[in-house]
Structure 1
Amino acid sequence: MRWGLLALFADGPKYGYQLRTEFDVRTGGTWALNVGQVYTTLERLVRDGYVTSIGSNDGGREIYAITPQGREALAGWFTTPVTDTDRPRSELAIKLAMAAVDPEVDVAPVVQAQRTESMRQLRDYTQLRRRADPDGDVGWLLFLDHLIFNLESEMRWLDHAEATVLRRRTRQTGARLPASAGLDSEPAGTVSQ
């Protein structure tokens, strides 16, 4: 969020609530952001010398602008790749990892519930993408594409996770897999578990 808010200063000075509003517009409101988070992050950006207060507007709101140091830091952020260690933990991956080793949990309904929700989200984002102006805000279109591609990847991973757990449990119990399970071969590019 820190870098996303700093990037919003690229087109000029802003006040806190304005940052929240613009962040919501650019991300389609898909990343919930409260005003308290914005002001806490803004204080840190000031502390680090990336933005500075330049006074108040007619409504008494404090206005902030990006500093040269902030522009340099932002340029560095844009050119630095994101690594896995920079990404937040995946609650879904943790949930399935825990369910996979718990003999009391039937993983199939867990996966199916998530698959259903992921498909609903994919449908919603795809509809938004279809309604979006192709000549409109390229940032918004790219953000929607990112959400769509992530959900497509998630659903593929869910299929793999379900098949992996079923295959392992079948080996452990000595039961035969039903022919309809479709687990005779690994998808291309996957590693057998």
Structure 2
Amino acid sequence: MSIPHGLLTLLRSGPMYGYQLRSEFERATGATWPLNIGQVYSTLTRLERDGLVVGHEPDGEGRQRYEITADGDDAVRTWFARPVELGDRPRDELAIKLALAATTPGVDARGIVQSQRTATMRRLQELTRLKREAPAEPPPEDLAWSLVLDNLRFTAEAELRWLDHCESQLARARARSTSPSVPHTTPTEEIVR
């Protein structure tokens, strides 16, 4: 998730200070990716350094509003126009964990799959409950959360399918490693015998 691009996008609607940006970001994403206020301000500092936002003088309460610049607006347009590449996404901790578990002696990779499947199923049930409670045609202000919720549900469903695949592969590998060695023959060799 590109926090800088998310904050820049929000600033297109007008100047805001850090707490407003955090609230708007969490509202738009249904608080799926909560932001630490320190993360917001450190990101704003970098965006200002890079000329993508400009900070105004603090108001009477010490709040500094930030405004997007023309370069910042160009950066948002470019971000929206560019597809997200698989390599642009963060590393998948579960995939790394299972890959290492499958090749590390003494680690119960199948147990990890089962534990993750249970957790993912619970998460999917919760997401499905939230979807059922949401209006079938969300009002415009809830559309962003509805899209994020659908993404989370579809991702959980895909993870369950992938875990099934992992379990199947692990079972095959285990069967191969415990079965007696059988000479491999091709169909032609079978006929010749």
| TM category, shorter | 0.7 to 0.9
Supply the AA of the counterpart residue of 1:147. Answer: L
Structure 2 partner of 1:129: 131
Q: Any idea what the Cα deviations from partners look like across 1:52-80, whole Å, max 9, x if unmatched?
A: 11333443200011111111110000010
Supply the AA of the counterpart residue of 2:98. Answer: L
Q: Any idea what the Cα deviations from partners look like across 1:94-139, whole Å, max 9, x if unmatched?
A: 1100111123122222111101111111111122222223232211
Alpha-carbon shift at residue 8 of structure 1 (Å):
1.0
Structure 1 partner of 2:80: 78
Alpha-carbon shift at residue 172 of structure 1 (Å):
1.4
Give yes or no for contact 2:54–2:69 (8 Å, CA) kept in 1: yes
Supply the AA of the counterpart residue of 1:61. Answer: R
Structure 2 partner of 1:165: 170
Q: Aligned with 2:56: secondary structure? A: strand
Q: Any idea what the Cα deviations from partners look like across 1:73-94, whole Å, max 9, x if unmatched?
A: 1000001011122110111001
Structure 1 partner of 2:29: 27
Rounded Cα–Cα distance in structure 1 between residues aligned with 2:57 and 2:133 = 40
Residue 150 in structure 1 maps to residue 137 in structure 2: no
Rounded Cα–Cα distance in structure 2 between residues aligned with 1:7 and 1:29 = 17
Specify every segment of 5 or more residues in structure 2 that has no aligned partner in the other structure, as ranges.
Answer: 181-193
Aligned length: 175
After TM superposition, list the pairs within 5 Å mapping 1:1-193 onto structure 2: 1-133=3-135, 134-136=137-139, 137-174=142-179
Rounded Cα–Cα distance in structure 1 between residues aligned with 2:18 and 2:158 = 35
Rounded Cα–Cα distance in structure 2 between residues aligned with 1:120 and 1:2 = 32
Q: Aligned with 2:7: secondary structure? A: helix
Rounded Cα–Cα distance in structure 1 between residues aligned with 2:67 and 2:128 = 36
Supply the AA of the counterpart residue of 1:70. Answer: G
Give yes or no for contact 2:138–2:146 (8 Å, CA) kept in 1: no
Rounded Cα–Cα distance in structure 2 between residues aligned with 1:44 and 1:121 = 35
Rounded Cα–Cα distance in structure 2 between residues aligned with 1:170 and 1:140 = 45
Greater relative contact order: 1 or 2 (C-alpha under 8 angstroms, separation 6 or more)? 2
